[in-house]
Amino acid sequence: MKKITISIAAISFLLFSCGNATDEKLEEQTTTVTHEEHHHENESEVIKLNNGEKWKVNAEMMPSIKNMEKDINDFSITEEKDYKSLAEKLQKNINLLTSSCTMTGEAHDELHKWLLPYIDLVKEFSEAKDETEASKQFKNIQISFATFNQYFQ
């Protein structure tokens, strides 16, 4: 239940940050969020390619994505693992990414299919109770970025 609440809050934040919504629109989006969350839990929405091609992510959003990917790659080869510091960097870039969201249409929808689970992974990573759990979550984050690179450019 906690994961659903967190996911709904994250989705609401993303939808709101992707455009200036009035209170009516925000209420409508929240209803949509609840519906979309149901689909994500059932894994019925799988990221798809754009007619066999990768989706283009807006230039304003790519720096945050590339910064996260660089931080993840650098961390993977660093001997001393500061999981907390990495989690803070990733969260900072998630915040920048969502605040710079200008995408619309199908590309936007497909990006959210990757981004929402990724946000959950980073949250779980930041809440890891020990190094073993943090290491496991870090591997999941790496897998998530491999998925991003498979479907987006």
Enumerate residues 6+ apart whose C-beta is below 8 A from 149. none
Over residues 76-131, the pLDDT tens digits come to 999 999 999 999 999 999 999 999 888 999 999 999 999 999 999 999 999 999 99
Taking the complete model, does pTM exceed 0.75, yes or no?
no
- Give how far Cα 100 sits from Cα of 57, 60, 61, 93, Å: 11, 6, 6, 10
The Cα 63–Cα 69 span in angstroms is 10
- Given pLDDT bands bounded at 50, 70 and 90, which one contains residue 6? very low
Enumerate residues 6+ apart whose C-beta is below 8 A from 82. none
